[in-house]
Amino acid sequence: MDTIVIVLAVAVVLLALVMIAALVIVMRRTGVVAPSGPSPEQLAEVKAEVNEELERARREAEEIRTKAERDAGEILKKSETFAESAALMRKEVEEESRILKTELKELRSDLERRENRLAEREQRLDEEARRQTERARKLAETETELADRREELERVAERRQEILERVAGLTAEQAKSELVKEIENQAKREAALIVREIEGEARKEGEKRACKIVTLAVQRVATEQTAESVVSVLHLPGDEMKGRIIGREGRNIRAFESTTGVNLIIDDTPEAVLLSCFDPVRRETARLTLEKLVLDGRIHPQRIEEAYERSKAEVRDLCVRAGEDALVELGITEMHPELVTLLGQLRYRTSYGQNVLKHLIESAHIAGIMASELRLDRDLVKRCALLHDIGKALTHEVEGSHAMIGAEIARRYGEHEDVVHAIEAHHNEVEVKTVEAVLTQAADAISGSRPGARRESLEAYVKRLERLEEIAQSYDGVDKVFAMQAGREIRVMVRPENVDDIQAQVIARDVAKQVEEELTYPGQIRITVVRESRATEFAR
């Protein structure tokens, strides 16, 4: 309201100033006023001008008043808003003050409770300390009493020992020594009897369980076997195809043999040609190549190379698929892709007419069954048996026995050390150290020796074994010769009185050299010369 009053006063002052200004303007326009006074026209003009100035001043005053009222209303609104904000702030401050007072009161109460608990705890600790002190005093008294009793017992024991020594005529050390010897001899006799009984029972139980496990494994595994050789036969739609295969002046057959590395035999056999190669994968690739060429009908060197590349890729895929199928059949996972490919290549490899991949699968099944019976790691044993002949996939490319080659391959591709050892030891080329290696040997022997597994010519097989025994028997000092493991090992027993250790080594080397020169056999043959001397006496 004070602001409105001030604004109205300012408006009145402005109105007065406007009127004075109007009079001054009139006087300037009319000049000096005559003593007789202004004329009516002049007065009318002045009155009109004054009225106009008054009206203008009134309007301006009205505008100023309206603006002042609006400003005053805004100021009132702002003051009310400020008052409300101040009230809210006052309430918030009061609420916070109340909360702080409440928290302070709670903290004070909590502090008082803690102080009370601490006081109670100190009181309990003081009581416990007094009890501990009393207990320590009683323990000290008890220890003193026990020490006195111990000294008294020692004196009594000494007197008793002196009495016993006088009665027995022996010192304590002598009596103790004789008693110990008697007890030791008795314990040795009883231990020897127990050991003999345990060994006999263990031997009987072991033989029984071994027979049961092997019989069960053989009965549960029955896989078919196919006999293959180093020759593949491809049937032709007609004999005129032979001429197209040979080509002009033998151009096509030379290109085929050069590209595939396989000998192509074309003879008088009607509507058939033979492919001969020691490498089974290469022979299968060549067979597929020739089959594609015969179906296409266009045979020339360029087409031979194209068909060979396609067949090689197809055989590679077949090998990978065969390896994966074997893993799926056995339930084995996480194997390196290169090992899977090598397993698949064994699909085309045979040993004594037995397919190597099927032999590995069968061995893995047998080893898994025996591991389950013995409560061993079934998956690990199956893995050992599956990979034990993996080196046969590379025996034509890498020198050495397939066991050592396979162990190196398995180690290179991250297989477990037990698997590597089982591979390298399955033909006893290294000392067998694990149960898994023993089971791998047993599974390999069962799969290879069971009836119908291998279809070698019986006559050739018997002749080779007889010749091996004859070669070893022909040396001086040899007592007995045993051909073992289907002719892969020869045990030569020599007479120790006629052959010393150096001569035994010479006999082993000479037998191995003669076998290499005279016989043809797959893999390798191990010659072991055994020289044993025994000393026997009889107590009568």
Q: Which CATH number fits the domain that encloses residue 489?
A: 3.30.70.1350
* Domain that residue 497 falls in: 459-530
% the chain with pLDDT above 70: 81
Q: Average pLDDT in the 350-358 region?
A: 75
Task: Please check whether residue 416 is in contact with residue 434, taking contact to mean a CB–CB distance below 8 angstroms.
Answer: no
Q: Average pLDDT in the 100-114 region?
A: 90
Task: Please check whether residue 357 is in contact with residue 322, taking contact to mean a CB–CB distance below 8 angstroms.
Answer: yes
Position 450 scores a pLDDT of 56
Q: Report d(CA 319, CA 342) in Å as an integer.
A: 8
Task: Please check whether residue 57 is in contact with residue 18, taking contact to mean a CB–CB distance below 8 angstroms.
Answer: yes
**pTM to 2 decimals?**
0.45
Q: Tell me how many degrees the CA angle 83-89-91 measures, rounded to the nearest 5.
A: 105
Task: Place 226 in a pLDDT band, splitting at 50, 70 and 90.
Answer: very low
pLDDT at 232 over 70: yes
Position 47 scores a pLDDT of 76
Range with the poorest average pLDDT among 150-154, 214-218, 412-416: 214-218
Tell me the average pLDDT of the chain: 79
Q: Average pLDDT in the 89-118 region?
A: 90
Q: Report d(CA 468, CA 525) in Å as an integer.
A: 10
Q: Is residue 266 part of a domain?
A: no
pLDDT at 227 over 50: no
Q: 268 by DSSP, 3-state: which? A: coil
Nearest to 402 by CA among 455, 359, 462: 359
227 phi-psi bin (left φ>0, alpha ψ -120 to 50, beta other): beta
Q: Is residue 484 part of a domain?
A: yes
Q: How many domains does the chain have?
A: 2
Nearest to 385 by CA among 342, 446, 431: 446
Position 16 scores a pLDDT of 67
Look up tokens 């018997």; give the residue: 462
Position 32 scores a pLDDT of 42
pLDDT at 454 over 60: no
| Token representation of residue 441 | 């040997």
Q: 350 by DSSP, 3-state: which? A: strand
pLDDT at 20 over 80: no
Return the bridge partners of 354, or none. Answer: 351
Q: Is residue 447 part of a domain?
A: no
CB atoms closer than 10 angstroms to residue 247:
17
Domain boundary among 113, 134, 167: 167
- Classify residue 416 by its DSSP letter: -
How many DSSP H helices and E strands does the chain contain? 15, 8
Q: Average pLDDT in the 421-430 region?
A: 86
Task: Place 225 in a pLDDT band, splitting at 50, 70 and 90.
Answer: very low
Position 34 scores a pLDDT of 44
Q: Is residue 96 part of a domain?
A: yes
Q: Is residue 108 part of a domain?
A: yes
Q: Report d(CA 461, CA 472) in Å as an integer.
A: 17
The rounded radius of gyration (Å) of the Cα atoms in the chain is: 59
